Chain A
Amino acid sequence: DGGITQSPKYLFRKEGQNVTLSCEQNLNHDAMYWYRQDPGQGLRLIYYSQIVNDFQKGDIAEGYSVSREKKESFPLTVTSAQKNPTAFYLCASSGAGGPIYGYTFGSGTRLTVV
């Protein structure tokens, strides 16, 4: 079955460390997105990519980095510059025409700084 796979499901990071969250999709979708979710904050966009080798900053890109070397993969690195990284991270994708046909979300990664 087609879908989006995020790994790991839970991740613990020490302060000062960089960590990379994986996002892989087999839906043949062109666009991919990373969102951060905090209680009561809804979904806030970190980065998005509409095509391979191209990506744009979202609303809260500071302290994060991404790459899009393959259509299927859009990993997110949470760097030590992100001051408050503890959150639920969601990856999503959408097909031809962008988001007008709805996003498909992965099951998310819960990142905790210890």
Chain B
Amino acid sequence: GQQVMQIPQYQHVQEGEDFTTYCNSSTTLSNIQWYKQRPGGHPVFLIQLVKSGEVKKQKRLTFQFGEAKKNSSLHITATQTTDVGTYFCAGPWGSTLGRLYFGRGTQLTVWP
């Protein structure tokens, strides 16, 4: 079954608007990772969060890890057309630490 829920599945915004995607798990996570996949491309690792309540920024991207380490979010400020793509969260859910479980992703479309 699905190890992590990611919402929304699709998001359409006008350039300059903000965007947020959320990742939720029923179990505590040791860490969570975020990936971006451009249309027609492959996923690219963006960042890893490990600590409870951790917040990391990469230019216009802000990543948060919840206090209970069961949820995470990715927020993009003032979207640009270069932000188009699908954003995935992933984590080593459960006892099988040798693998990651990926959320279904949020597909972001940015209108110019």
Contacts and interface: CB of A to CB of B under 8 A. Distances in A.
B52 interface: no
B104 A105 contact: no
Interface string B67-100: 0000000000000000000001010100001111
B48 A101 contact: yes
Contact of A107 (B35, B41, B88, B102): B41
A58 B99 contact: yes
Contact of B42 (A41, A45, A107): A107
B100 A103 contact: yes
B42 A108 contact: yes
Q: How large is the interface on B (under 10, 10 to 19, 20 to 34, 35 or more residues)?
A: 20 to 34
A31 interface: yes
B24 interface: no
B84 to A, nearest CB: 16
Contacts of A43: 43, 88, 90, 102
B99 A40 contact: no
B89 to A, nearest CB: 10
B67 to A, nearest CB: 21
B105 A102 contact: no
A102 B33 contact: yes
B104 A99 contact: no
A50 interface: yes
B2 to A, nearest CB: 9
Nearest to A45: B99
A100 interface: yes
Contacts of B30: 100
Contacts of B104: 40-42
Nearest to A41: B104
Interface of A: 31, 33, 35, 40-43, 45, 48, 50, 56, 58, 90, 92, 98-108
Given A99-B99, A103-B35, A103-B100, 5 more contacts: A43-B88, A56-B98, A102-B45, A103-B43, A106-B42
